[in-house]
Chains A and B, each alone.
Chain A
Amino acid sequence: MKVHKLFQRMRFGIFALFGLIVLSTSLLCIRTVDTELSAEYAANSQSIAKTIADASVDILLNRNLATLQSLIDQFLEVQGIRYIYITDETGEFLAHTFVPGIPEAILESDPFRTEPVERSLPGMGDFLEVSSPILAGVAGTVHLGMDLDLVALKIQRAIGQQVYLISILLVFGVLASIWLVNLVARPLAELLAYAVETARRPPEERAHAVRNEKLLERDDEVGQLARLILYMSRTRPPSGPGVLPDQGEARSAA
């Protein structure tokens, strides 16, 4: 015999509680990771743009465009940076990393703008473009495009990993809870079966026929109940309300 009904609500409660924890933790995690990583990527991009701008000053003043190109090519190896272009003080493109050519949207944009802007370039993807002036803008501007798709992918991956970990904890938590509940339910089921079997027998047979040593030897509450049932089965019903055998009597009866 199984004790389902008693623990069904408990299992549901545990599952609901864990689910709530997972959901709320995941939402918080998504929001935190998204916000923090996005801000970090933007800050890093801005730093890289400023580094290029600072390093470009002498190169630009020497009009050494091959070295300038070599410089930005190296920064293009940084993960997430998809394009870099440098415009001079007149807005002319002095160096860039676009293949097969500079996109129309970039050609038509304001070359002196230094505020971050999100761009969608056909055939290339979505980008966060940050800019940094060279020599306070009098020598030109560095523009750097961070791949938003890659940033989003990175954020998704970071979130995914956290949610994955929390989900695993949820599964293990629920399984552990079920196992623990079953640990309690099994002796209770045996106790119930013992009580039912005892009840089914005529009173005169109960004293000799019904014994469950495994249950009776337990030193927990289930054992106490089993011994109580056995004691009650062997004694006549008490004459008045509130009269119960003490534990010593029940143990000696067992």
Chain B
Amino acid sequence: MDTATHSRPATERGAGGGQLWSRRTLVHSSCAAALLAPWARWANAALSAGSGVSPGAGSAAAPGRQAPFRGAAGDEIVLGTSAAFTGPSRGLGNELYRGAMAYFRQINDSGGINGRRVTLKLYDDGYQPDPCVENTLKLMLEDQVFLLFGYVGTPTVTRVLPMLKKFQEERIYMFFPFTGAQPQREPPYGDFAFNLRASYRQETAGLVENFLATGRRRIAVFYQADAYGRSGWAGVRAALENHGETIAGEATYQRGARFTGTMRAQVEILQRAAPDAVICVGAYAACAAFARDAIDLGLRVPIANLSFVGSENLVNLLSEGRDDPEAYTRWLVNSQVVPSYEDESVPAVREYRELMARHDPQIPEEFLDEPYNPLPQSFVSLEGFVNAKLMCEIFRRFDGEPIRAGLEDAVFSIRDFDLGIGEQVSFGPERRQGLQRVYYTVVEDGRFVPLTDWNALPA
């Protein structure tokens, strides 16, 4: 059975000097060193060439390194997860987890993979980078998980990537993070992660091209003031640049903003730019607040959101308890990286719906600091489901006991694999992202349906 534990920084006595060191200090030190150094790739190459030591061997003195990494020994394969299970973005972590657990439970109930159960070691980071880094350190050094799986968010993942490079000798990989940002897709960290979903760059490029094709040339961006927002902003900028256009206007918000907060200042900034469309790069609470205030203040243009937003939670916030539930939602255009969970013609969707209904995974009580109503189906849990499905397929590729050293080969053996979502999945040394397709949806009768005519968007 999966386990769940809260993680909080602890104060520890340093082994050497008797000086008190907090875990945060250790984390910051290792992160700072790892973040600033890896950009000089040649430095590692020079080290290995000069000393005969492979890159990363310098980390041999790191705490806990004497113990061998476990995670796949015995009758279970332990995956480590740090995600947002609390806070304003908890819907993302919760649903991604539920979708993955629906599949893992099915696999475990039917005997596991080659007799091994798949379990998740969970930590909550509240979608904040520092706790995520601490959780990852714990997962790697204390829990010794086999790999990292199902992380949520760009600002969190971006901060963890240097740690993977720091411990690269241990070959601990991050699988299928719930983010479409570039850092885990490109050097110097691309070798430490495997992505399934399409990137934000692909999502924003698709949105921009479709808007431009329908004559909406003035595109503004509303984004989260962090790495996630910047990733989306950069995608929009690059896509517009390809067409000789620039971002018409931009406004930001602080990560962790709630729906009850106001986004009027941001709306006023964008109103001055007179945009034809706004692309939001944020989480559902803030994006819902922005859409509400934008429409209330008269900024009535299509408001696009990326897949990360948490579409169902967004719609719920904008429509629940309103006389006209579509007053706000009719302006929404959401890009998705998985097909609609309503489309039962897709085999994986049928399987997903069946297993979600059968297992109905619940959030561990440790994380329920306030009541949470799980969504029966959602794009996020469907993504978690297909993530788990592909993960299990990778484990099946091992002949015997799964070992970290064999992970890359196992992943690269996935060629034109039919995941059941209408798109073949392939991986290779130069291809560390499985899916490429982006879907576009609008809201009708409170549900997301495929967008078939971009010209029919409200003006």
Q: Is B233 an interface residue (CB 8 A)?
A: yes
List the B side residues contacting A67 at CB < 8 Å.
158, 183, 227
Of A59, A63, A99, A101, which one neighbours B254 at CB under 8 angstroms? Answer: A99
Residues of A within 8 A of B231 (CB): 65-66, 69
Are B269 and A101 within 8 A (Cβ)? Answer: yes
Q: From residue 79 to 98 of chain A, which have CB atoms closer than 8 A to chain B?
A: 95, 97-98
**Interface set, chain B 259-280, CB cutoff 8 A to A:** 263, 265-266, 269
Cα-based distance from A229 to B140 in the complex (angstroms) = 94
Chain A residues lying within 8 Å of B440, measured Cβ to Cβ, are none
When chains A and B are docked, how far (Å) is the Cα of A136 from the Cα of B86? Answer: 44
Query: At the interface, yes or no: B186 with Cβ under 8 Å from chain A?
Result: yes
Contacts of A239 in B (CB 8 A): none
Residue of A nearest to B36 (CB): A55
CA distance A57 to B37 in the complex (A): 12
Q: Is B47 part of the binding interface, using a Cβ–Cβ cutoff of 8 Å?
A: no
Report whether B253 and A100 are in contact in the complex, using a CB–CB cutoff of 8 Å. Answer: yes
* A71: interface (CB < 8 Å): yes
- Given A68-B230, A100-B252, output 6 extra A-B contacts at Cβ < 8 Å: A70-B155, A70-B158, A73-B155, A74-B32, A74-B129, A101-B251
Chain B, residue nearest A67 (CB): B183
Whether A118 sits at the interface, judged by CB under 8 Å, is: no
Cβ of A47 to closest chain B Cβ, rounded Å? 14
Q: Do most interface residues of chain B lie in helix, strand or loop, or is the interface mixed?
A: helix
Taken together as a complex, chains A and B put the C-alpha atoms of A221 and B159 apart, in Å, by 81
The 9 closest A-B pairs by CB, nearest first: A58-B39, A69-B230, A66-B231, A70-B227, A65-B234, A100-B265, A66-B227, A70-B158, A100-B266
Is A109 in contact with chain B by the CB < 8 A criterion?
A: no
Q: Tell me if B187 is interfacial: C-beta within 8 Å of chain A.
A: yes
Q: Is A62 an interface residue (CB 8 A)?
A: yes
Q: Main SS of chain A's interface residues?
A: helix
Cross-interface CB contact of B225 among A64, A71, A97, cutoff 8 Å: A97
Q: Does B366 contact A (CB under 8 A)?
A: no
- Number of A residues, CB within 8 Å of B: 23
Q: Mark A6-19, 1 if CB is under 8 A from B, else 0.
A: 00000000000000
A64, A70, A95, A100: the one contacting B269 at CB < 8 Å is A100
Q: Which of B39, B186, B229 contacts A69 (CB 8 A)?
A: B229
Find chain A residues with CB under 8 A from B234 CB.
63, 65-66
A102 cross-chain contacts in B, Cβ below 8 A: 250
User: In the complex the two chains form, is A55's CB within 8 Å of B39's CB?
Assistant: yes
CB distance from B125 to the nearest CB of A (A): 15
Q: How far is the CB of A99 from chain B (nearest CB, A)?
A: 5
Residue contact B225 to A98, C-beta cutoff 8 Å: yes
Measured CA separation A98–B265 after assembly (Å)? 13
Tell me the nearest residue of chain B to A63, going by C-beta. Answer: B234
A69 to B183: give the CA distance in the assembly, Å: 11
Residues of B contacting A99 with CB < 8 Å? 225, 252-254
Q: How far is A57 from B252 in the complex, measured between Cα atoms in Å?
A: 25
- For chain B, residues 142 to 162, give those with C-beta under 8 angstroms from any C-beta of chain A: 154-155, 158-159
> How far is B447's CA from A192's CA once the two chains are assembled, in angstroms?
104
